[in-house]
Every structure is written in C-alpha cells, then in structure tokens.
Structure 1
Amino acid sequence: MTTKNNLLVELFVEELPPKALRKLGEAFANVLRDQLVAAGLADAGSVLTPYASPRRLAAHLTNVAAQAADKAVSQKLMPVSVGLDASGNATPALLKRLGALGADASAVPELRRAMDGKAEALFYESTAKGATLAEGLQKALAEAIAKLPIPKVMSYQLESGCELPGWTSVSFVRPAHALVALHGDTVVPVEALGLQAGRETHGHRFEALVDPVVLRDANSYAQQMQDEGAVIPGFEARRAEIARQLAEAAIKVGGGTQPINDDALLDEVTALVERPNVLTCEFEREFLDVPQECLILTMKANQKYFPLLDAHGRLTHKFLVVSNINPADASAVIGGNERVVRPRLADAKFFFDQDRKKSLASRVESLGKVVYHNKLGTQGQRVERVMRIAHAIGEQIGAPTGDAHLAPRAVQAAQLAKADLVTDMVGEFPELQGIMGRYYALHDGLEHTVADAIEDHYKPRFAGDELPRSNVGIVVALADKLETLVGMFGIGNLPTGDRDPFALRRHALGVIRMLIERNLSLDLRTMLSDAYAAFSAHRGGEIALNDPTDALEAFIYDRLAGSLREQGASAQEVEAVLSPRPQRLAEVPKLLAAVRAFAALPEAPALAAANKRIGNILKKSPEADAHVSELLLKEPAEKALHAAMQKVVPQANSQFEAGDYTASLQTLAALRDPVDAFFDGVMVNAEQSDLRLNRLGLLMILHGAMNRVAQLERLAA
C-alpha cells in the first residue's frame, strides 16, 4: 500500500515585494496542489494551507502519497488492415510500433481489437508506473515557480557552483537561499533555483532563538517557526494577530478610539513584518489644525502607520506602529517613529499654509498650462467644457423645480473643481484632489454647496462609493464624467477587454447611478449631445473630435445591462427593458419592476409569443402604417380584437403616461384571448390589398401599444 503523509514545501528568499506577497503565496501553494493532484499524488480531499511572510513562500498539503498508483494505459496502434496481413500475422509496421513501446511479437495475440470510427483498430494495453513523489514534486515545484505572478523578475548569480562570474545565474522575484521539502519527516530530494531541498530554514533576522531552524517534520512547521524562529509564517494568521493588537492598543488609549479601517494598509503591513508588535506613538497636537485627510494620508502612504480616530471619526494626535521587533524596552522604537513622522506632518502643514495664501479662483488661469491630453487640450480647456455641460444640465434640473441658483452654482463649482491640481498639497499627494479643493474653497469664503461640489465631482470613485451630497455636486459630477466619456470616445480612445486607463467604465457607471439613484428626469441622448457640443465652443482652437454619441450611448446601455444583471435581473428582463433604449434612465427600475410583474401573469407567455410573431410580420411588411378602417374589418375575430383594443389601449396608454408601468402592462394582458382568436381565425396577408393593409395597421397599433413599456417579445421562450 502506498504511504501517505503530509507534505511541506518552503522557499526561503530575500524580502518579497509587500503589495504582491498575498497573491504570490496563494499562487505558489495552489499550483503546487493542482500539479500534485494531476499527478495522482494528492486528491481532492487533500487540505492546502498556504504560508507567506516577507522572506518565505510555503505550502502544507495533507494526504500526499509517496508514489502515485499505477494506471492502465490503452494506446491505439494502427488499423487492423495495416497491422495484420491476410493470414493474421503481424506486419513489419506493427512490429516496429510495438518495439518503440518496448514490446515484441509476443504481444500481438494480446492486442485488443475495437472499432475506431468506421474501421477496426489495434490497441496495446499496458500499465504505466505511477510517479514517485520526488518526480511529481520536482515537476510541480518547477511549474509553481514558473507561474508565480511576479511583478518584476531579478536575475542573480548563484552563491556556489560557478567558476566564472555570471557563469550560473537564475531569475526569480528575489534571490532564494534555502529550499525545504518534507514528506512527513523525510526530505524529498528535489531542487529549484540552484538549491537542494533539505529540512533547514531561517527565522526572524534578529529574534530567532536558533539559526538555522531545523524542521522535525511537515506538521511541526508553523509551531517551530513561531517558537524557534519568532515568525508567524501564515499571512492570514499574521494579519489577524495585527488586527487584534491594533484593537487592543486602541482600547488602552481609551476615549472610544479606533484604528483607521484600511484593508489595503493592513495587507501591506502584514507583508512587511514577520513578528508583529503594535506600539502607540503620538505627535504634537498643533498638527491637527491641518485637514485630517492630509495627515492620515502621509502617515499611511509614507510610513505605513495606523492613525487613531476618536468616537466621532476625528483624527487624534496618537497613532499605532506595527514594529517587526519586540524589545524589552520599546521607548527607542517609539521615539524613532515619532521623530520620523514629525517632518512629514510639518511638510503637510507647510503645504497647507502656503496653498491658502492664494485663492482657488486665482489658480484657474494656471490650468491653461497643464496638458490634459495631447488631443483634447489643456486642463483649462477641459474646465471650460465642463462648465458649459454643467450649465446645460443645471438648467434642465433646476427649471422644473424653480431652482434658479442651481446652474450658476454648478458653473462656479465646475470652474474651480480642478484648481487644486496646481496646489503644493495635491502636487505632493494627488489622492487629495477635490478634498483639498473643498478646504481651500471654504477658506476663500465660498458657499458650502459649491465647496462640497468641488470635492464631490469625482464621486462615485468606485463601486459602492457614495454619490455627491447635493444637486450642485451631482451636476458637476455628471458634467465632468460626460466630458471625459465624450472626449475619449471622440478621439477613439476606447476601453479594451483588459485595459481602461481613463476609467471610462467607471465613469459610465457613475453617470448611470446618479441618474437612477437621484431619480433625475434627464434625457441621456440630450446630455451626450450637449457634451459633444461643448467641444466645439471653447476658446483656443478646435478639437478634432468625431461624434461619439451613438457609440457612447450603446456603451452606457451595455454598462447598465451588466449592472442590472449583477443586481439579479434576468437577461430576458434586461433585454426587454433596454432594447427600446429608454432615454430617461431614472425610469429603468420602474420599467424592470413592471416587466417582472407582467412576466408573472398567466397571460404573459402567450402575449410575448404573439408580440414576437407580430414583430416578424411587420418586418416583412414595410408598406404597413398604423391606421385602421372599421369598414374593412370583415372577420369576427378582427372586429373583436379591434373592439378590445379600443377599450384597453387608451387605458394602458393613460397609465403609461402617468408612470404606472406595471398597471399599463397588466391592463394589456386582457388582450390575450382576442389576440389568440385573431391569429386563429384571420389571414393577415390577405390577397385583397386593402384588407391586408388594414389588418397590418391593426397589428401595428397593437404592437406599438404592447411595446411602450418594454419589448415584450424578448420574454418569449
């Protein structure tokens, strides 16, 4: 019986890139497991545990066999007519093929005959020896290394075995120094990156109790690394320990403080330390006069610190550091981190104080010197376009509600929205664009709605992000995103399957969300046309732009369709609602609800099928028009349908105009029986042309009424 045991493989390397560590660890472990399963050395029940720390990638896999089971192999040799002569003896061709497989003429009587297509063929049955663990792991290890999602490869010379400089070198993400491969307590003789597998690895650079750490067996790995090597090798375990220590340190600070919630920062810090030790530090309270976004960003981005927020979400003067050492007296570590952060905060304060010496309005002119895109002009020209688009949208939203101030405020916010791009603070921290613009606008004495709009015009920045907080912000955000979409589509700079450098998909989804979630009665095509017109109206020369309205409209509907499907709508429902291209996207949720309610009616399948049939008939009858003469209604079924339509269609249209789409479709469901009777008893394409045209006109009116809410034929099976 084949021996089974748990397997451990570890590559000990120099410090790995922190932002890629988690993916590297998962990829290394997963490929190893998949390759061993494919080789028959592990099975679907084998439990995989990946490990990844700054200086190691490792995997622990349960239930791994020392040798894979033998497998029966059936190999097709050749047709019987080619392999055997008329007397049934083997031909030279058959003997040569058998020889290549390590067999001779004695195997001929044992060959299996079976039909292969239309001809009978000869098959050689043999048993393939199962791969040993050393063979299978060697291949799996090579595959795991080759398939690592390495951000950037390093080439380095091996430490030994090379007589001349550069004679033997390898390429890997970082120089590798040790390889461990243990099956139970037995070393598996494999090699990788010029290293021979053993049982020795290394722990923490400074705090390991022993060096090297000699692993007893595969199962002792995690515990020995923690006890002897002072390392928590598992990424998830180390991440959980850091989160625990952060929460514990915040409780000790008191006052309801909480460390800032940032998963990306937590992941990066987890990838930087092997033995986390959270320490509490502080800075001078005077720095809290600087906008907290600036201080938080500099602490997170530059120093990988965790700022502490009070119970109201305000930044405190204390922060948490995740150290990689655990000295008996941590005062030197704390003092060092406090000294390091102070100049960073001082820079932020300096930038903030200097920026406020000039108003945002005075900076707008400088945008004319900042290139936005070589085919779309400067940021200054872009601002002019956004202002024009914002004015058009502001007029459309403000007029029905009597808000005469909306458009002027939106234009003012649009003019200033990009001005903070030429400030020192945003030059140092581009992530603060918009945020700093709001602070500077408030400092300049501008209205809160205008200041908020300057920050909010970038929203929504990602899936699930909040929308702008006021109509002024909504108008400027729409204008900004439409300007980007129209400009990029107009110069042919379209997103591809895996590339979208200008985030056009995100911009389109942002437009969709604002129109729908704020229930804005704006016409999509009108907005696109207004945005396109803004490109020919600015000063400083014409922008060579093709009209992108049709392509961009299709792109937005495609984004909307994908969004609706992600929210649970079926493909049929989405197609039914979006095929007529409803221009007011705010109506789409109500249209979708109406279609769902209609689809649940017992009359729905028959009416959807009839609608599809009517559509096919009308496509072949271009001469038809929506006109019916009662004098030409001859058959009882067409008279009954006409009478039913005279009663039902006006009611359904009235409900549609009132926005009650569900009631409109349910009213039309009453036409099922007269429609079925019409197709059962009436020949639409009558030989007499006036009768045919009259019947086509009746169907055209019916088709138009049935498809005002949605294309019901899309619901047909």
Structure 2
Amino acid sequence: MTKDFLLEIGTEEIPASYLEPGLNSLEELLTGCLRDSLIHFGNTKKFYTPRRLAILIRDVSLYGEDIVTVITGPPKEIAFEDDKPTSQLVGFVRAHGVSPEKVKIIKKGKKEVIGIEKREKGCDALDILRDSIPSILGGIEFPRTMRWESSGVRFARPIRWIVCLFGKKMVKFQLAGVVSGRRSCMLRGEKNTTIDEPSNYGKLLQENLIIADPLKRKEKIESQIKKIAEEKDVEPIGDDELLLEVTNMVESPLAVIGEFDKSYLSLPDDVLRAALKGHQRYFWTERSGEGTNYFISVANNPHGDVDAIRKGNEKVLQARLEDAEFYLREDMKVPLHKRVEDLKEMIYDRKLGSLYDKTKRLVELSSFLCKWVEGVDITSLRRAALLSKTDLTTNMIKDGKEFTKLEGIIGAEYAQRQGEDKKVVDAIGEHYLPRFANDELPETKEGRVLAIADKVDTLVGGYMVSGIPTSSKDPRGMKRDANGIVRVLLERSLSIPLEAMIRKSFSLYGKEYSAQVLDFIIQRCRQYLLDRGISYNVVMSISPREDILTMKMIADSIVDAGDIQDIVMVTKRMNNILKGVKVGEGVVEEYLKEPEEKKLFSEARVTGKNLERCIREKKFKDAIFLLRALVPHINKLFDKILIMARDQKIKNNRLALLSYVHSLFQEIADFKSYGIK
C-alpha cells in the first residue's frame, strides 16, 4: 500500500535565485533518505514561490523493505552426524534463537555450511519522515543562510509555517519554533487554507490565486504580457533571464503596462534597458524593431489597482531615467581622451597599480599581439586600448547603480557620440567579451585582440597577487578570464603563441615569467575540448602546443580520422620496447640488413618530410593518414625481425630506427596514452 507525501515550508520572501537550487537540494536530501531506508516511492513534483518551497512525492510505501540477513555457521559435515544435529549445530541455533528446523544448507565457496535467515521488519515510513525531516531542512544548501531565533536553525529566510502530510495524516515535528500541520498561508491578507491531502495541494493553492508550479506561473506571465502588449500594438523584447527572475519573484502575477516620456528614447538603448531591467525588472517593448516608450511590469497582487500600480511604476522609472539623462549630459562635457589622466587616481589593484597603469599595459600588449592577427588596424587598436577604461571615470558607471554593468558599452557609446573611428568604437564595446559562459564573442579583429590583451593582463596580474585558483576557490574570476581567452582564440581561429603572449604580459608588469599561467590556460583549453564532447583519451593525448588553436585542430583531426586503434597499438608496442632503453643518435643505413627494416626506414624518411609539410600547413588529418600508412611496415618489422639482436651494433641501430619512427607519431599526439577499446 502507498500514500502520497507533501512537505511545504512557508517562509518570508526568499531571493529569486535561491528558490530552484534550494528546492533541488531538498529533493535530493528527502529522496535520499527514503532510498536509504529502503522505502519505495514514485514521481516527485516540485513547487516554489518566493514564500514557499514544496515537494509532492507520489506513491510512498508505508514501510521500507524487510531486511534479510544471512548468518552462516559451522560446515555441514560438522553440523550433522548421521543426519542428526550435532552439539555444534544445537549451540549455533540456540545462540541465534531459532530451532534446528530453520537452518539451511548454504554454498560458501566450495564448501557447504549451515545458515539461517534473520528477517528484520522494514521501517515505518511515517516514523522515518517525522524523525528525519528536521535535519533534512537544516541541511538544504542555499547560497546564504541566516539565523533568526534561539534554536540556531539556519535557513534562507525565517520559516513561518510548515505543512507536512503523509496521505491524510499529519507528520508532526517542530523546527525553529514552528510546529508542522496542515494549514498553509495564502495571499497576504487572506485566510489560511487547510490542505486535506497531498494530491490536492496545487489545486487548492490555484483556487486561492497562487500558482505554485513555476512552469505554469511562467506561462501565465508570458500570456498576460503578450495580451496587454497586443492592446498597445507593441511586442515585448524577449529576455529569458528576466522572465525567469520575475517568475521567481511572484506567486500570483499581474502584468501591467506603463509608459514613459518619449523624450527618453534619445538615451542609448542599453541605458534604457538597464534602467528598466536592472532595478525595476520591467520588460521593454518594441514596434517594427524600434524600442517604444511602453514597458511592462509584473506585480505580485492579483487584486491590485492596475492604475495605481502603473502610476507607481511610472513614477519610479521617471526618477531612474532622469538620473540617466543627467549622467549622460554631464559625461558628454568631458571627451574620453581627456579622461585618460583621471585613470591615475583610480586604483585597479593596490598591488598592481592604477587603471592608468593597466591602460598603458593594454596599449603595449595589444600592439604586441597584432603581429599574429592579419588585417588589424594598429592605430585604431592602440586608440581603443588607450580609451578602453575611461568610461570607468564617468558618472554613468561610477554613480549609476544599475548602469555600472554597462562598462565598455558606455565607453563605446560615448566614443561614437564624440566622433571616434568606428573601429575604435567597436573595439571598446567588445573588449570585455565574453563576460560569462556562452556570452557573445568580439566580432572585429581589433576587438578580439583587445579582449585577449585585457584578459591576459588581468589573469597575469591575478596570478601575481593570489596565484592559480583552486577547484573550489576562484575569488578573482581567473577561470572566467582564462575561459574567455580560450574561446576567443579557438572560436575566432587565432593562432597566437601562448608563451610569447604571457611572457610579454609579465614583462609589462616588470616581473619574471611563470609557466604556471601557461599551464593554467592549457588546462582550461583541455576542459573546453572535453565540454564539447571530445573524448578524454583524445584530449589528454595531445601535447601542449605553441598555440591552442593547433591543439584543437589536432583533436578535431583525430576525431575525424575515426578508429585509430591500429596507430594506438603500434605506438604502444614501440613505446614498450623503447622504455628505459638508451638509444643512439641516428640510424646507420649500412647496419640495416633485413628488407623489412630497410623498407620501414625508406618509408619513414618520406613520411617525415611529408609530415613536416602537413604540420606546417596545419593539415593534421592528412598527417594522421601518413602515419597510418607506416603501421603495416612497423608490424612487419615486429613480426619478422628480432629487435634485440645479439649483434650490439645491429640491435642499437634497430632501436634507433624505432625511436625515429616513434618520434614521427609524437609530432601529432602521444598515442600511447590513448585508451584501447
């Protein structure tokens, strides 16, 4: 027999970003507890709003499985004599409280022994839930927790009520001064509702205008936004991130459309979007691809006065837009190039100097990188590097609250308004990209070079201050910077040598080069390849290269080549023979006696020349096919010839031949480390 189980934790409003991870943690802990107790259960259904986390578990067994323990005793030949129990068997069954008739003959290895089964009744699910839930709730992982009363319980926000039902029965316990029951709080100002049984939970809340299912709540918000936007002949500008955040900020949504003065449309689009989204969480709208002065908010009040809500939103937004207009007007009085000196007064890092110092390094490092990127306008690049951090001195970024995230974007906007060349404008706007995983990449050559230079400078500086980050701690975001460098280099096909780039950066700081930074970027490159589905064996077989684009091209070529087990096998075979052996300087042709070794040497020399050309031209798939053509000749050598010949000169010459052939394979990858199926 089974029953459904419901647990709802009612709280003060939990931050939107805490809800999903918190509920996932609760689900993992709760289902783990049931599994550990051998209690079977069906599907789970999760609900959350800012004021509640809830989980419904279907078909929970009333009891856990019985636990059967087999206890073995003396061997069969000792337990019985003439088919009658011996004193050893009598003593064994008496010690375990069973009669001799209950014993079984059990095979243990090659012997037969006496055994008994002890069956322990499965645990009561109600007891397990009642005893375990308090500690489970205390173990939920949130980004941050708090204490609010004397028991010391920590949670994302103070707990105000708990509903816990197993079927129609209440699961009684106490946590943080709150006793569990069956009454759930509804909308503020409304009466509490009694939950009669778990399966009715979602329906009862919906009858009280609370949409606890986040997916249904999101669909409701989308539907409301679309409807009121159509009434004004506008379209909401899609923003999945904002939609998710708003969904997690309300439990009973009401979309309201408002408008602002059209004069504010003269503000940069990114500034308008930040004013609407950054603090107020409003959706902007467009008509025929152009932004309009209409915006949409989502209130957490189904009975709200729409006019009052709209006027309140418009008043708050008006103040934000006035601020933005003021910042823009004041900022435009000082050209960006006159702000460069102001960077001397702004600390980049107390151990690394001012933003002016960083700017000087960016100008030099980006100029240095130009030699490996064809078609870069170095004059525009140096100008962009010089101006790249000047927007940090502007009112919009310094004092603009929700506008501070527009660094780089504001710089590009101001540069464009002040008549800077388009290449300069674009490079300034792109040099922070990518800001996060899956963010867009710089499109212009100048932007790509400046973005790499900025991230390399930040990474090297971070290393000088705090070293390489660990797997659990990365307070300076160095992994993000390294990942950004890797993405720009690989996804924009840039062959810039890592070591030269990093050495130059260290020299601009006036410090000694450290290979740890190089190793760190190569490690992030390997992770990039793994994340894109290239197997661990392939990724780890590729030795570090002068530039990581070559590493990616080799990995792709190995994958494209298909089954390379023939290459792997023969490489391992060569490696096993050469392991620990001191090999001479080169192959002496006159010591090649047998046709198989002569043929292999001849083919290997031709392959070596062709391989060199393929590597120079980065045709790595062709290189793999060249190596594959050597495999039959190597196998013939092994099958027909004794490598460790008695004649020392011939033996050494054959080892030198193998070493030479083996080195050709190493030019592409360390195939011996590649796993064999």
Does residue 396 of the first structure (1) align with residue 372 of the second (2)? yes
Name the TM-score, length of structure 2 as normaliser.
0.89
1:185 to 168, 175, 178: 168
How far is 1:466 from its partner?
Answer: 2.0
**Contact in 1 for aligned 2:572/2:672 (Cα 8 Å):** yes
Corresponding residue for 2:15? 17
Paired residue type of 2:203: Q
> Residue 439 of structure 2 aligns with which residue?
465
Structure 1: distance between partners of 2:397 and 2:304 = 41
| Structure 2: distance between partners of 1:619 and 1:408 | 54
Aligned residue in 2 for 1:524: 498
Structure 2 counterparts to residues 221-232 of structure 1, below 5 A? 221-227=201-207, 229-232=208-211
Aligned length: 664
Cα distance between partner residues in 2 of 1:707 and 1:310: 60
Q: Deviations over 1:623-663 (max 9, x none)?
A: 5223x333222222222222333444434433443333222
Distance 1:609 1:64, change over 3 A: closer
- Judging changes above 3 Å, is the alpha-carbon distance between structure 1 residues 582 and 155 closer, same or farther for their aligned structure 2 residues? closer
The one-letter amino acid paired with 1:613 is R
Alpha-carbon spacing, 1:283–1:710, altered in 2? closer, same or farther (3 Å): same
1:563 is aligned to 528
Specify the alignment match of 1:220 in structure 2: 200
Distance change in 2, residues 1:665/1:173 (3 Å): closer
Cα displacement (A) at 1:338: 0.7
What is the match of residue 259 of structure 1?
A: 237
Q: Does the 8 Å CA contact 1:434/1:455 hold for their aligned counterparts?
A: yes
2:594 corresponds to which residue? 635
Deviation, 1:200, is 1.9
State yes or no: 1:56 paired with 2:34: no
**Structure 1 counterpart of 2:670:** 711
Q: Which residue of 2 aligns with 1:596?
A: 559
Q: CA deviation digits over 1:178-210, x for unaligned, max 9?
A: 33233333434444333333332221114x4xx
Cα offset for 1:669? 2.7
Change (3 A) 1:439 1:79: farther
Deviation at 1:322, TM superposition (A): 0.5
The reply on whether 1:293 has 2:270 as its aligned counterpart is yes
Larger mean Cα displacement after TM superposition, 447-456 or 211-220? 211-220
Measured at CA, do residues 419 and 74 of structure 1 come closer, stay the same or move farther in structure 2, by a change above 3 Å?
same
Deviation, 1:29, is 4.0
Instruction: Tell me the CA shift for residue 685 of structure 1.
Output: 4.2
In structure 1, the residue matched to 2:476 is 502
Partner of 2:82: none
Shift of 1:226: 1.8
- Structure 2 equivalent of residue 162 of structure 1: none
| 1:454 has 2:428 as partner | yes
Return closer, same or farther for 1:568/1:13 CA change in 2, 3 Å cut-off.
closer
The 1-side partners of 2:472 and 2:311 are apart by 46
- One-letter amino acid of the structure 2 residue matched with residue 320 of structure 1: I
Task: Supply the distance in 2 between the matched residues of 1:709 and 1:172 (Cα, whole angstroms).
Answer: 54
1:315 aligns with 2:291: yes
> Structure 1 residues 636 and 11, CA, compared in 2 at 3 Å: closer, same or farther?
closer
Structure 1 match to 2:516: 551
TM-superposed deviation, 1:18: 2.8
Q: Any conservation in 2 of the 1:138–1:190 contact (CA below 8 Å)?
A: yes
Instruction: Provide, for residues 471-509 of structure 1, a one-character-per-residue CA deviation record: whole Å limited to 9, x for no partner.
Output: 111111111111122222344521111222222222222
Asked whether 1:416 is paired with 2:399, we answer: no
CA distance in structure 2 between the partners assigned to 1:502 and 1:322 by the alignment: 35
Deviation at 1:413, TM superposition (A): 1.2
Whole-Å separation in 2 of the counterparts to 1:424 and 1:565 = 43
The counterpart of 2:307, out of the listed 317, 326, 331, is 331
Equivalent residue runs for 1:164-203 within 5 Å = 171-203=154-186
Q: Structure 1: 5+ residue runs without aligned partners?
A: 158-165, 537-544
Looking at structure 1, the residues matched to 125 and 210 of structure 2 have their Cα atoms a distance apart, in angstroms, of: 29
| DSSP 3-state at the match of 1:6 | strand
Q: Secondary structure at the match of 1:315?
A: strand
| Superposition misfits of 4+ residues, deviation over 6 angstroms | 75-80, 105-124
Match 1:481 to one of 446, 452, 455: 455
| 1:474 alignment partner AA | R
- Runs of 5+ unmatched residues, structure 2: 80-85
On the 8 A contact 2:74/2:88 being kept in 1, the answer is no
Quick one: which amino acid aligns to residue 29 of structure 2?
V
Structure-1 residue corresponding to 2:5: 7
Question: Bigger CA drift: 409-418 or 369-378?
Answer: 369-378
Alignment check: 8 A CA contact 1:260 1:309 kept:
no
> SS in structure 2 opposite 1:624?
coil
TM-score (norm 1): 0.84
**Among candidates 627, 634, 654, match of residue 668 of structure 1:** 627
Match of 1:160 in 2: none
8 Å Cα contact 1:53/1:273 also seen in 2: yes
Worse-superposed segment, 524-533 or 118-127: 118-127
| Alpha carbons of structure 1 residues 94 and 512: separation in structure 2 relative to 1, 3 Å | same
Give the SS at the match of 1:420.
Answer: helix
Rounded to whole Å, the distance in 1 between the matches of 2:24 and 2:600 is 66
Offset of residue 443 of structure 1: 2.2
What amino acid does structure 1 have at the position aligned with 2:316? V
Match of 2:333 among 350, 353, 357: 357
Q: Please state how far the C-alpha of 1:128 moved relative to its aligned partner.
A: 3.2
Q: How far did 1:30 drift?
A: 4.2
State the alpha-carbon separation in 2 of the partners of residues 56 and 711 from structure 1: 55
Distance 1:611 1:283, change over 3 A: same
**Cα gap change, 1:422/1:90 in structure 2, threshold over 3 Å: closer, same or farther?**
farther
Paired AA for residue 552 in structure 1: V
Give the C-alpha shift of residue 309 in structure 1.
3.3
- Range 269-278 or range 643-652, more displaced: 643-652
Aligned to 1:273: 250
Once residues 47 and 36 of structure 2 are traced to their aligned partners in structure 1, the CA distance between those partners, rounded to angstroms, is 22
One-letter amino acid of the structure 2 residue matched with residue 520 of structure 1: L
Alignment check: 8 A CA contact 1:386 1:480 kept: yes
Q: Percent identity?
A: 27
Partner SS, residue 555 of structure 1: helix
Code of the residue aligned with 1:71 in structure 2: it is D
| Equivalent residue, structure 2, for 1:587 | 550
Partner of 2:360: 384
Change (3 A) 1:450 1:136: same
Question: Which stretch of structure 1 is more off in the superposition, 641-650 or 349-358?
Answer: 641-650
Determine helix, strand or coil for the equivalent of 2:494.
Answer: coil
- The alpha carbon displacement at 1:617 in A equals 4.4
Between 1:105-114 and 1:11-20, the stretch displaced more is 105-114
1:247 to 214, 220, 226: 226
* Closer, same or farther: CA 216–693 of 1 in aligned 2, 3 Å: closer
Letter in 1 for 2:128: G
Contact 1:625–1:696 (CA under 8 A) maintained in structure 2: no
Q: Is the 8 A contact 1:277 1:322 kept in 2?
A: yes
Task: Check 1:599–1:50 CA distance in 2 against 1; reply closer, same or farther (3 A cut).
Answer: closer
CA 1:37–1:613: 2 relative to 1, 3 Å:
closer
Greater shift in the superposed pair: 236-245 or 615-624: 615-624
1:540 is matched with none
Structure 2 distance, partners of 1:126, 1:669, is 62
Residue 541 (structure 1) aligns with: none
1:716 CA displacement: 6.3
The residue that corresponds to 1:542 in the other structure is none
Cα distance in 2 between the residues matched to 1:132 and 1:690 = 80
CA contact (8 A) 2:10 2:162 kept: yes
Tell me if structure 2 keeps the 8 A contact 1:77–1:124. Answer: yes
CA distance in 2, matches of 1:498, 1:309: 43
